[in-house]
Each structure stands twice: as structure tokens, then as C-alpha cells.
């Protein structure tokens, strides 16, 4: 097994262990409280959670944002998530396609995935660090064409690369590479962090180079510094990585700040969102969509039905939040009163 494949499998096992969350830092959603409406004057079953994303109608504002391991596990995860996304009527973003692009191991990342997802939005995924070297546009096109994706996610993980043994630490010139990619790849480009958040200042810079969709992926959930601490080859590396376990912008703050900085952007909230109530709070703070990754991994390894049950519960929780704030739609939820 190559070092790249081994690393992906190690990442999966470590995340599933449940011992890599931020410790001293939370998402910030626990500080957000809706004002209860004891007379909602609504039929809860009639509440409309639908929304539009990438020209498609979703039944609820959720994105399955996957992090997969080596090819054997990835194939199982991707198939279960794709089938579930179609059944639920929500969007699906695959994990990093670097393994599939650089090796012969596809991990289920083939055109068949497009068929499994049906008419739901399907998103490719590649790391910003791989854009360097003059081949970024070709690699990105390959990632999109491989699965027939509707958009391409470029994920930002500078902290993970900084603390990872052998990580990519030369990030100079990447904004220019990203700007060139936006005009050449042929589908919308989405920029996301992996758990440290995107600031208002960066969101504005991304807007200026043509990025219209931002996934803040804030702090408070899985800490990739903690993941890499578990993988460190020696005690010195482990201590350095652990120093940054709680680094980042809390998800709630990142959503609020990016929405203010880029009022016309599509904002995706992810990073430590556990419940449909968290998701409802994210929508209230300015998110258009809400993503989950680590929270659905164990379900994805089990079955399509388990994934569906997981998201049905999150959707029910969001519906209850709408009901108890008198919100008949997501538009109403965005104006729901908060306790001060």
C-alpha cells in the first residue's frame, strides 16, 4: 500500500475513534438561542424546508460532505452516501479525489456515482495544495469529469499540512492559481476549509477572484491537528500538532462574519454541526446550506438506510426548530427572533 493510501485509511480510523474533537473550543452554536413561540399557528408537516442549490431543488438544506479512507472503504462509503442523497433529495460532496487522480484506485469515484445520485447536486473535491506545479487546471478537470460533478470543491487545510509529517507547506501563489481555475474548469468552484474556518477577510478575497460559494467549515468539531498528532512519527511532532488542537474560527462566528462580508455569496456551514437544531441556528446566522462529514461516517460504513435515518432525524430536528419559532419556511427561519 502506498503512503498516500495508508494515510487515507489512518485518517478514517482516527476520525471514527471519536477522540479528535476540539477540546477548549466549541462551534459557538450553544450560545445562539431562539426565542420560543408558544403559538406558532402552523401545521408542522406543511413547513417548507426546500431550497435551491446549483440549479437544483433540495428537499432540505443539507449537504453530505464526505471524508473517506483508502479505496476499499471509500467505494462503500461513496455508494451508500450517493444513494442516500438521492433518496433524501439533498446534495453530496465526495471526499478528496487525490487518490483517484494520482493512482489507479478509484474508490468508487466513477461516472456510476452520477447515476446513483440522480438529479441531486454532486460535488468533486480536491486540495488547494495540489493546484501548484502548473497542472492544477488539468487535475481539476479530471476530478470533475471522473464523476460528472456539478461543481468542484477546493479544500483549504494549511494547518493540517503544517503539522502533518511530510505535509505540503508551500502555499505561495495559490490565490492566483485559484483565480485561473475559476475561469477554466467549466463548473462552479467552491472553496472550503476543513475545520479551522474561513474569515470575513478571506471570503472577500475569494469573492474578488470569482468564488461565489464558500463552505466555512469552522472550528469546534473534528480537529485535523489532533488527527495528525495521532499520526505523528515521534513525540516531538505529536506535541507540536496538539498545540494547535483548538485552533480556528468557531463555525457560528465564521458563518455570521462571511455572510456580512459577502452578502450575495452562497454560504455553507459545516464544522461540528451535530443536530438539526445546530443546522437551524446556522441558517438563522446566514448559511444557505449545512454540511456534515464526520458525523455521518459511521452510518455510511454501515448502510444506505442508516445514512437516510441519520439525516431524516436531522431534518426532523430542523423542522421542530422551525415549528417552535413560527417559521413556515427557511426564509422565515432566517428572520426568527433570537434571545439576547
pLDDT digits (tens, 9 = 90+) for 268-289: 999 999 999 999 999 999 999 9
Please give the domain boundaries of the chain with CATH numbers for all domains: 3-333 (3.20.20.70)
pLDDT at position 1 over 60: no
What are the backbone angles phi and psi of residue 164, rounded to the nearest 5°? Answer: -75, 135
Give per-residue pLDDT as tens, 61-88.
Answer: 999 987 665 566 788 888 999 999 999 9
Give per-residue pLDDT as tens, 228-253.
Answer: 999 999 999 999 999 999 999 999 99
More confidently predicted of 39 and 12: 39
- Distance linking the first and last C-alpha atoms of the chain: 54
Q: Determine the pLDDT at residue 91.
A: 98
How far apart are alpha carbons 242 and 305 in whole angstroms? 36
Q: Determine the pLDDT at residue 328.
A: 98
Per-residue HEC secondary structure of 37-91 comes to CCCCCCCHHHCECCEEECCEEECCCEEEECCCCCHHHHHHHHHHHHHHHHHHCCE
**Are 30 and 281 in contact, with CB atoms under 8 Å apart?**
no
Give CA angle at 238 (159, 297), nearest 5°. Answer: 65
Amino acid at each position: 500500500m502506498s503512503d498516500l493510501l495508508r494515510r487515507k485509511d489512518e485518517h478514517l480510523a482516527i476520525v471514527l475513534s471519536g477522540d479528535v474533537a476540539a477540546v477548549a473550543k466549541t462551534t459557538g452554536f450553544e450560545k445562539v438561542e431562539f426565542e420560543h413561540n408558544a403559538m406558532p399557528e402552523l401545521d408542522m408537516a406543511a413547513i417548507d424546508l426546500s431550497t435551491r442549490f446549483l440549479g437544483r431543488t433540495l428537499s432540505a438544506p443539507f449537504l453530505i460532505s464526505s471524508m473517506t479512507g483508502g479505496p476499499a472503504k471509500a467505494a462503500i462509503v461513496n455508494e451508500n452516501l450517493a444513494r442516500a442523497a438521492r433518496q433524501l433529495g439533498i446534495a453530496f460532496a465526495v471526499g478528496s479525489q487525490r487518490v483517484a487522480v494520482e493512482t489507479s484506485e478509484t474508490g468508487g469515484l466513477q461516472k456510476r456515482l452520477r447515476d446513483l445520485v440522480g438529479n441531486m447536486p454532486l460535488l468533486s473535491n480536491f486540495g488547494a495544495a495540489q493546484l501548484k506545479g502548473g497542472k492544477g487546471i488539468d487535475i481539476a478537470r479530471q476530478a470533475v469529469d471522473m464523476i460528472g460533478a456539478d461543481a468542484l470543491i477546493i479544500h483549504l487545510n494549511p494547518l493540517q499540512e503544517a503539522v502533518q509529517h511530510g505535509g505540503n507547506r508551500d502555499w505561495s501563489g495559490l490565490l492566483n492559481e485559484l483565480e485561473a481555475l475559476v475561469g477554466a474548469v467549466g463548473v462552479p468552484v467552491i472553496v472550503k476549509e476543513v475545520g479551522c474556518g474561513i474569515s470575513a477577510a478571506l471570503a472577500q478575497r475569494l469573492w474578488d477572484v470569482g468564488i461565489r460559494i464558500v463552505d466555512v467549515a469552522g472550528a469546534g468539531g473534528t480537529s485535523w491537528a489532533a488527527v495528525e498528532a495521532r499520526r505523528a512519527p515521534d513525540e516531538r511532532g505529536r506535541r507540536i500538532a496538539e498545540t494547535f488542537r483548538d485552533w480556528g474560527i468557531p463555525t457560528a462566528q465564521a458563518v455570521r462574519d462571511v455572510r456580512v462580508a459577502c452578502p450575495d455569496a452562497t454560504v455553507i456551514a459545516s464544522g461540528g454541526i451535530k443536530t438539526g437544531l445546530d443546522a437551524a441556528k446556522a441558517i438563522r446566522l446566514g448559511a444557505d446550506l449545512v454540511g456534515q462529514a464526520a458525523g455521518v461516517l459511521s452510518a455510511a460504513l454501515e448502510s444506505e438506510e442508516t445514512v437516510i435515518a441519520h439525516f431524516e432525524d436531522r431534518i426532523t430536528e430542523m423542522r421542530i426548530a422551525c415549528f417552535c419559532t413560527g417559521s413556515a419556511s427557511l426564509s422565515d427561519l432566517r428572520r426568527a427572533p433570537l434571545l439576547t
